[in-house]
Amino acid sequence: MKIFCIGKNYAAHAKEMNSEVPSKPMVFMKPSTALLNNNKPFYYPEFTTNIHYEVEVVLKISKNGKHIKSKFASDYFEEIGLGIDFTARDVQSECKKKGHPWEIAKAFDHSAVIGSKFIPVEGLDLNNLEFSLTRNGQVVQKGNTKDLIYNFETIISYISTIFTLKITDLIMTGTPEGVGPVEIGDELVGYLGDVKMFECRVK
Ligand code: MG
């Protein structure tokens, strides 16, 4: 199982990171050891002092494929979920400054919170899905897939020109604006519309 992530896929988030909107989907990956599911707690790692939450809609790949055309991409996922792309922002800034790869900031153990709940896409308007994250009961991020720069079909098509997509692979599709730091003791809860998709306690 592979976890793909798309960076800077909402213009307002790219702006808050002082970044340009990328001219094609910006893809990076997390290994299977990054997965944190079943509402398990996240233990704040020692190598960073600035972990940020990034709530993201997650696609669960349901069919193997390579070189998938956009018009067929919707055949490759049947369910969507929600998760957090935990990011060691301090480490990421260092990596960016030096032009280094950023796995140590993005792909560390348990950096991919994935809610265990997945919702069938049938009947959903995938181009108008609201989602949000609360931190200790306060809404900190609110997004809508209508603001995606690269929609789900484009992402799947693009990734599949480079990597073979396999059943059970996950794609984290990018975070809206409002990212921020977590602290030990925080309770993070993700919602797709009004449906609670995951909770995560920071320990
Ligand atoms: Mg992200």
Domain ranges of the chain: 3-201
Alpha-carbon distance of 76 to 153, in angstroms, equals 9
Rounded Cα distance, 178 and 130, in Å: 15
Question: Distance from the CA of 66 to the center of ligand 1, in angstroms?
Answer: 24
CATH architecture of 3-201: Alpha-Beta Complex (3.90)
Bridge partners, 199 (sequence order): 189
How many angstroms separate the alpha carbon of residue 92 from the centre of ligand 1? 12
**175 CA to centre of ligand 1 in angstroms:** 5
Ion ligand 1 — residues with CB < 5 Å: 54, 85, 175
Report CA(183)–ligand 1 centroid distance (Å): 18
- Predicted confidence pLDDT, tens digits, the chain (203 residues): 999 999 999 999 989 998 888 999 999 999 999 999 999 999 999 999 999 999 999 999 999 999 999 999 999 999 999 999 999 999 999 999 999 999 999 999 999 999 999 999 999 999 999 999 999 999 999 999 999 999 999 999 999 999 999 999 999 999 999 999 999 999 999 999 999 999 999 99
What the block records as the tokens of 185 is: 């003791």
Burial category of 190 from C-beta neighbours within 10 Å (exposed 0-12, middle 13-18, buried 19 and up): buried
